[in-house]
Structure 1
Amino acid sequence: MPARGNALKRRIRSSGGKLLRRFGLLPGGMPDGIGDDAALADAALDGDVMVYFPDTQDSLYQLRTWYGPLRELHRAQGVTIVCMDSRTAAALRAEVDLPVVTIALDATLDAIILRSATKLVLYVNYNPLNTAALRSRSAIHVSLLHGDSDKVVSVSNQIKAYDYSFVAGQAAIDRLERYTTLFDAPARCIPVGRPSLDTDRIEATVRADDRLTVLYAPTWEGGQASAAYSSLCTHGLAAVRSLLAAGLDVIYRPHPLTGVRVPEYGDTDRQLGELVESSGGRVSTGRPLQHDFTDADLILCDVSAMMGDWLPTAKPLLITQSADPQSRDAATALLSMSPRLTVAEATSAGNLARDLIEHDLLREERIEMIEYYLGDITPGASLARFLEACARLSTRRDELWARIQDQQRPSADDSV
């Protein structure tokens, strides 16, 4: 009787889960698992490369940073994006002209990778659900992530799950060498620069006026205390009021995940947006990052990938100091040498920003760091390194997999 009762409970939970998935009522961050599995029973994925993205739409910004490079890679080798969430897949189909499928079952995923002879699997984050694809032995697994920064996530032990990691430059390798144990960063990391900066380039534009402008681009609240870098609730309103009082224009670029985890951040985001817009500034959402970089004379940001991406502008930056005593970073030279804004100094951000713009004493030092962080930034160079690295690893995969298959074939002695 108890066994029969447990079986009934499992069926009820299963039926309830299906209904929740079907009507889109699952908690945020949980994929709905509505897959194309039946239609893919005998199908093969297009191309040599699979991008595995099991996340919900909240995290889609992580993949968006790679749209441009992935389009170019699709032309060279063929790319298919595999999702676990049907809502995310629908959004992707509307945004990017790449093949997209949704796979809910591990068995479907295992079989289709083998049937497709997929050479590379790419990942843009460390989602624990990535393990579904990581089980495959027939492909090389590459971590791309969605930015290169001094956040502790950049030196997470999770990097060891991947065969290789594509990083921006030598700074990332040195960071991993310093902060990660039992990981051979020089052997496992391949510097490719920031290919999205190549594909998202814009032509230089003429500013409408000569008013000095500050780009305020805080990060999100973070998933744990050690990665709580956001200045939004601690510095944001005071700093922006100070910038405006100093006669500076403000572009406010909120992080896409702002307020998803902690409602207070969403409330502050709304207040800050209203303040900026009421002062004639711009709240930048869905706008190419390079446009904001072009329009700004200085960036005020947290410890995040914004620091390195901003470097090629050669313009000054001001980095906030987290107010959370539990936060930790994986500091490199840029973070160590850059001016930091504490909570106590937020009310003086305007005068400090104006002084940094008008007397940029660290400009030459930052320019010298560009190659260290990003490699060659000649237009097209980073994209070329990315495509070459993918092609090289695809060839290596073929060689390794052929050797494994040869070893698994029965020998003449086995048939005796």
Structure 2
Amino acid sequence: MGVDKVRVRRRVRGWGGRAVRRLGLLPAGTPDGLGDDAALLRRTVDQRVFVYFGGTRQNLYQLRQWYAALLALDAVHGVLIVCADSRAARAVASEQTLPVVTVGRAATLDAMAERSDAALFCYVAHDNGNLGALRTPSVLHVFLSHGESDKRVAASNVIKAYDYAFVAGQGAVDRFADQLMRFDARAHAVPVGRPQLDSLATGPRVRGTLDPIVVLYAPTWEGSDAASAYSSVLSHGVALVEALVGDPRFRVVYRPHPRTGVTDARYASADASIRAAVATAGAGNRVDSHRDPHQTFGGADVMVTDVSAIAFDWLATGRPLVVTMPPGTADVAATRLLATVPRLAAQDVGKVAELVAREVELDPTADERAALVEYYFGTVGGATARFVAECDRVVRERDDLRTERGRA
């Protein structure tokens, strides 16, 4: 009788869990796990590269920036995108042409990879769900990331879980070497450049002498805890934007991070106030919602942002950059970038107009930033080809290892 009760309880919990997932009642940011597992039980696929995305729709910006590079890789080895969330999978399938499946159980993914002779798993973020994919022993695992950054998470100890980390340049290799213990950065961090910057327009924007300076304000989100609270939306945002839109010398393009306000409602409120200030100002001031931030770069003269990945991508344009100083206890590393560009503290936000004007007109750190571009990215351009070549090398390395072990 006791055994029967246990079975009933398990079935009820199972039914309840499936109902919660199917009704979309899971906490924000939790993958629903509604996979195609039943259909994939005996399926074999031709793709040799699986890209695992363990996040939800809120985090799709991490994957979207890799679509073009993955499409180039698909021409060589075939790429399958594997999602842990069915809602994210539907969005990804609608946005690009690579095949997409949803897998709810790690055992399903493991068995399909083995049957299909997959050689490489790639990851764009340190999602908790990666652990299930990382258990697959028949492939090599590569972390791609979703951008260079001075955030502490950019040198997370989690990187040791992967066989390789593909990074943009020497800056990332040094970051790992300096901040991680017992990690051979030069053996496991592979510079490939930043494919997302291959078509980036560089150099000053062509602007008439009477044209206003276009300021791209692109703050990051508030983070999950105090140590990662780099966002200026709450501390700087409203006053910064009001100071700029109230000055006829400037136009503001506001590009909030897609996760703004997810963990702290105060940031959502500040974001709404900034949007209202931009809308009220009109006259060329606007909120940017383009999925690809690099499409927005071409129309701006200077960026004001936080300690974040977008600061590094903007660095490659060669145009002036201002980075805010987080007001709290955020963990900010001492880096070459932050030592070079002007910093803006919350108490100095009233001086932002003069700071931005000086940076655009005089650009006093131009030469130092140019040196940083080489350090962080190597050569801007041609990174997609380097990315594909390194993926091909890893696939061949895996195949050689399998042959040595008699598992070809």
Query: How far apart, CA to CA, are the structure 2 residues paired with 1:291 and 1:95?
Result: 17
Contact map agreement 1:155 1:330 (CA 8 A) in 2? no
Q: 3-state DSSP class of the match of 1:344?
A: helix
Farther off after superposition, 185-194 or 39-48: 39-48
Counterpart of 1:412?
none
Counterpart of 1:148?
148
Q: 3-state DSSP class of the match of 2:40?
A: coil
RMSD across aligned C-alpha pairs, in angstroms?
A: 2.0
- Give the residue type in structure 2 aligned to 1:262: D
- 1:15-414 counterparts in 2 under 5 A? 15-198=15-198, 210-247=211-248, 248-280=250-282, 281-325=285-329, 327-377=330-380, 379=381, 381-405=382-406
Tell me: CA distance 1:65–1:202, structure 2 relative to 1, closer, same or farther (3 Å): farther
Counterpart of 1:10?
10
Counterpart of 1:414?
none
Number of aligned residues: 404
Q: 3-state DSSP class of the match of 1:313?
A: coil
- Give the residue type in structure 1 aligned to 2:226: A
Q: Alignment identity in percent?
A: 45
Query: How far apart, CA to CA, are the structure 2 residues paired with 1:70 and 1:53?
Result: 13
- Give the residue type in structure 2 aligned to 1:29: G
Deviation string for 1:69-94 (max 9, x for gaps)?
01111112100001111111111110
- Give the residue type in structure 1 aligned to 2:46: D
Q: 3-state DSSP class of the match of 2:166?
A: strand
Deviation string for 1:17-60 (max 9, x for gaps)?
11111222221111111111121122123311000012111111
Tell me: CA distance 1:146–1:108, structure 2 relative to 1, closer, same or farther (3 Å): same
* TM-superposed deviation, 1:95: 0.3
* TM-superposed deviation, 1:295: 1.1
* Unaligned residue ranges in structure 1 (runs of 5+): 410-416
- Give the residue type in structure 2 aligned to 1:291: Q
Tell me: CA distance 1:158–1:40, structure 2 relative to 1, closer, same or farther (3 Å): same
Tell me: CA distance 1:104–1:202, structure 2 relative to 1, closer, same or farther (3 Å): farther
Query: How far apart, CA to CA, are the structure 2 residues paired with 1:290 and 1:27?
Result: 31
Query: How far apart, CA to CA, are the structure 2 residues paired with 1:143 and 1:266?
Result: 31
Q: 3-state DSSP class of the match of 1:300?
A: strand
* TM-superposed deviation, 1:184: 0.7
* Unaligned residue ranges in structure 2 (runs of 5+): none
- Give the residue type in structure 2 aligned to 1:405: G
Farther off after superposition, 394-403 or 198-207: 198-207
Query: How far apart, CA to CA, are the structure 1 residues paired with 2:15 and 2:272?
Result: 39
Query: How far apart, CA to CA, are the structure 2 residues paired with 1:222 and 1:239?
Result: 20
Tell me: CA distance 1:314–1:152, structure 2 relative to 1, closer, same or farther (3 Å): same
- Give the residue type in structure 1 aligned to 2:62: Q
Query: How far apart, CA to CA, are the structure 1 residues paired with 2:345 and 2:58?
Result: 30
Q: Report the TM-score when normalising by structure 1.
A: 0.93
Query: How far apart, CA to CA, are the structure 2 residues paired with 1:51 and 1:298?
Result: 34
- Give the residue type in structure 1 aligned to 2:114: L
* TM-superposed deviation, 1:200: 6.9
